Amino acid sequence: MLIPSYLVNEKFDDRYFDVVNALDEAQQIYFRNNNLIERITVGLKSKTPFIIGETGFGAGRVVVSLMEFMKNSGLKNVSIEYNSVEMYPMGPERMLNILNGFKERVGAEIDALLEAYKSIDITVGGWHSMKIQQSFGEIHLNIWIGEALEMVKVLEKPCDVWFLDGHSPKKNPSIWRPELLMAIGEKTKSGGTCATFTVAGAVKNALVEAGFTLKKHEGCGGKKQVLQGIKC
């Protein structure tokens, strides 16, 4: 299949995500494999926001997919703090172009993300915060424009879960380097988790060094197996 050029991140010569299964893939790898609904339900009782970290904001497909997943969960009054990072932020026009293929399924969620994203100045480094109100509750979206390790270091609170969604380790080893994964381990709550689409040996080793016990799950789309890490 010929991949349209706007779907490829020219900095890494790798596409942002699998265009056919991207929403379902995110829901399986990042949400279901991490028991997100059950864990968010526990947090609801104690009125504590659920804290997510993500490496690689890209076109925001994961956060759009999360909005759909939460809407379908039927939960209400949910508060999610979503911390992501992007070294090469794209403009809203390109974001819309990339997400447009999912308009029929998640049009309202894409509009909500774009409205928030248009309000920030992506030429300025550091934190940019947005609030996205949805029927299930709200997402406080914080995007750090800059390098992933900088973001992890300045994160004030440890995360319940990390979505590791950089490009493939072959194309972009920087986002899988042991120093960064170690810092992510340090910014994960005890009993917290991480998940990723790659099962590359170097990534597995670095995650184990960072304090995660690894579990393989069945993949989705083109991926036979995917990974979850559980922090002791």
Judged by the rule CB under 6 A, the positions of this chain that interact with ligand SAM are 9, 11, 16-17, 56-62, 85-88, 147-148, 165-167, 172, 174-175
What one-character-per-residue DSSP string does 199-225 give?
Answer: --HHHHHHHHHTTEEEEEEE--TT-SE
Closer Cβ to ligand SAM, 40 or 164, answer by number: 164
Contacts of 127-135 with C-beta under 8 Å, sequence gap 24+, read 127/154, 132/67, 134/67, 134/70, 134/71, 134/109, 135/71, 135/76
Q: How far is the CB of 72 from ligand SAM (least distance, A)?
A: 18
Q: How far is the CB of 168 from ligand SAM (least distance, A)?
A: 8
Q: How far is the CB of 106 from ligand SAM (least distance, A)?
A: 12
The answer to whether 207 and 215 are in contact (CB under 8 A) is no
Q: How far is the CB of 56 from ligand SAM (least distance, A)?
A: 3
Q: How far is the CB of 89 from ligand SAM (least distance, A)?
A: 8
Q: How far apart are CA 154 and CA 150, in angstroms?
A: 6
Closer Cβ to ligand SAM, 11 or 76, answer by number: 11
Q: How far is the CB of 39 from ligand SAM (least distance, A)?
A: 20
Q: How far is the CB of 24 from ligand SAM (least distance, A)?
A: 13
Closer Cβ to ligand SAM, 51 or 95, answer by number: 95
Closer Cβ to ligand SAM, 41 or 142, answer by number: 142
Closer Cβ to ligand SAM, 51 or 59, answer by number: 59
Closer Cβ to ligand SAM, 44 or 178, answer by number: 178
Closer Cβ to ligand SAM, 58 or 92, answer by number: 58
